[in-house]
């Protein structure tokens, strides 16, 4: 079987279009412009690329983008003061502190200082708890993007066997919560899982989020399963730099019913969902109905 390719790049463009429509309506009907603040501490090159891309796309959908670039040596107290100022700024509806932070800063402390209703990353402990108990929350962007693509492809996910490979707080754990919320039977597999190939072979849905290049071969995939590849790994092959996922695309595509490519799969959905979360946060902050189809 040749798998259907789930085109995350095209899907992300439709999400951004929807977001832009809601932003236009918020401006015209309510005089409100949603605003997203991104805080970058230090000069990590990958983080600089992400932050630039976030700022550009924020402006493209008609929202205000506020960038706070702080020196790598910024103290915890100074960073907390910046977050506090953003928490209290009515023009800022979403706050994202780019991770990783320099080693002298306590990430948990900083993330948990963000007002939960402005935590568009969904990393605040309150949002983690709300998601885990099935209550309205801000949902982490990458898992939200994966869920949107799965719902779009399958309609209902009810009763499906889902295996999430990876137990990170950013992807694996919230992804499992979202799939459980959509009535999947969920297994979280990780580096200590016994007989990982057999566990993965049971899955109707496989979400790979481990950060190890091409670690899932095709013969782990059940015929017709849906494979969502969250990995973005830079490798060198035949003397060239290449981006590959956590699954071996060629062999998995032979057995899967549907698969996301790398690049062009999950990656573009992450920022699109960040924009969606910002619009959702803005609507909630103003007591307005939140956009349909942009939340979990
Ligand atoms: N660094 C890499 N990905 C992310 C993300 O989704 N959010 C934040 N805050 N930092 C990141």
Q: What is the pLDDT of residue 2?
A: 87
Q: What is the pLDDT of residue 117?
A: 98
76 shares a domain with 163: no
Of the chain, the end-to-end C-alpha distance in Å amounts to 31
86 shares a domain with 205: no
Which CATH number is 94's domain given? Answer: 3.40.50.10860
Q: How far is the CA of 150 from the centre of ligand 1 (A)?
A: 22
- pLDDT single digits (tens) 245-260: 999 999 999 999 999 9
What are the beta bridge partners of residue 186? 162
89 shares a domain with 145: no
Residue 215 lies in a domain: yes
153 shares a domain with 98: no
DSSP for 223-261 reads TT-EEEE---EEEEETTEEEEE-SB-HHHHHHH-SEE--
260 shares a domain with 156: yes
193 shares a domain with 76: no
- pLDDT greater than 80 at residue 1: no
- pLDDT single digits (tens) 99-149: 999 999 999 999 999 999 999 999 999 999 999 999 999 999 999 999 999
How far apart CA 83 and CA 203 sit, in angstroms, is: 41
Find the helix packing angle between 172-181 and 141-154, rounded to 10°: 40
| Probe target for ligand 1 pocket from 55, 97, 121, 172, with the most ligand atoms within 8 Å of CB | 121
How far apart CA 40 and CA 51 sit, in angstroms, is: 7
Provide the domain count of the chain: 2
- List the domain range (segments joined by +) for residue 41: 30-116
Residue 288 lies in a domain: no
Evaluate whether 276 touches 295 at the Cβ level (below 8 Å): yes
pTM of the model: 0.97
| Probe target for ligand 1 pocket from 41, 50, 54, 119, with the most ligand atoms within 8 Å of CB | 50
**Number of neighbours of residue 134 by Cβ within 10 angstroms:** 11
- State the average pLDDT for the chain: 97
Spell out the residues 6+ positions from residue 118 whose beta carbon is closer than 8 angstroms to its own.
86, 87, 92, 93, 94, 95, 281, 285
Residue ranges lining ligand 1, Cβ < 6 Å: 96-99, 121, 141
Residue 36 lies in a domain: yes
Q: How far is the CA of 286 from the centre of ligand 1 (A)?
A: 26
Residue 32 annotated as part of some ligand binding site? no
Average pLDDT of span 169-180: 98
Residue 291 lies in a domain: no
Tokens representing 234 are 């830079």
Q: What is the pLDDT of residue 119?
A: 98
Residue 255 annotated as part of some ligand binding site? no
Residues with catalytic function: 54, 98, 121
Nearest CA to ligand 1 atom 11: 99
Spell out the residues 6+ positions from residue 204 whose beta carbon is closer than 8 angstroms to its own.
160, 161, 162, 222, 225, 226
Indicate the residue among 116, 149, 173 that finishes a domain.
Answer: 116
């Amino acid at each position: 079987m040749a798998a259907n390719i789930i085109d995350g790049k095209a899907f992300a463009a439709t999400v951004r279009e929807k977001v832009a429509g809601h932003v236009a309506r918020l401006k015209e009907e309510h005089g409100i412009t949603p605003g997203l603040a991104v805080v970058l501490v230090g000069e990590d090159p990958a983080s600089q690329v992400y932050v630039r891309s976030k700022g550009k796309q924020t402006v493209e959908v008609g929202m205000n983008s506020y960038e706070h670039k702080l020196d790598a040596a910024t103290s915890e107290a100074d960073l907390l003061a910046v977050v506090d100022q953003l928490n209290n700024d009515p023009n800022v509806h979403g706050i994202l502190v780019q991770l990783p932070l320099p080693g002298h800063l306590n990430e948990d402390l900083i993330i948990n200082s963000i007002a939960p209703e402005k935590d568009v990353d969904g990393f605040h402990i309150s949002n983690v708890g709300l998601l885990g108990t099935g209550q309205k929350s801000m949902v982490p962007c990458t898992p939200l993007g994966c869920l949107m693509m799965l719902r779009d492809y399958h309609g209902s996910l009810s009763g499906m066997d889902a295996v999430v490979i990876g137990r990170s707080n950013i992807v694996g754990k919230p992804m499992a919560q979202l799939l459980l919320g959509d009535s999947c039977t969920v297994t979280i597999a990780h580096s200590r899982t016994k007989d990982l190939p057999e566990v993965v072979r049971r899955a109707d849905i496989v979400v790979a989020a481990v950060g190890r290049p091409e670690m899932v071969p095709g013969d782990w995939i059940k015929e017709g399963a849906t494979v969502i590849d969250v990995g973005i790994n830079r490798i060198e092959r035949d003397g060239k730099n290449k981006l590959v996922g956590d699954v071996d695309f060629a062999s998995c595509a032979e057995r899967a019913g549907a698969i996301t490519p790398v690049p062009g799969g999950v990656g573009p959905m992450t920022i699109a969902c960040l924009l969606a979360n910002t619009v959702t946060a803005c609507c909630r902050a103003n007591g307005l109905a939140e956009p349909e189809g942009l939340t979990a």
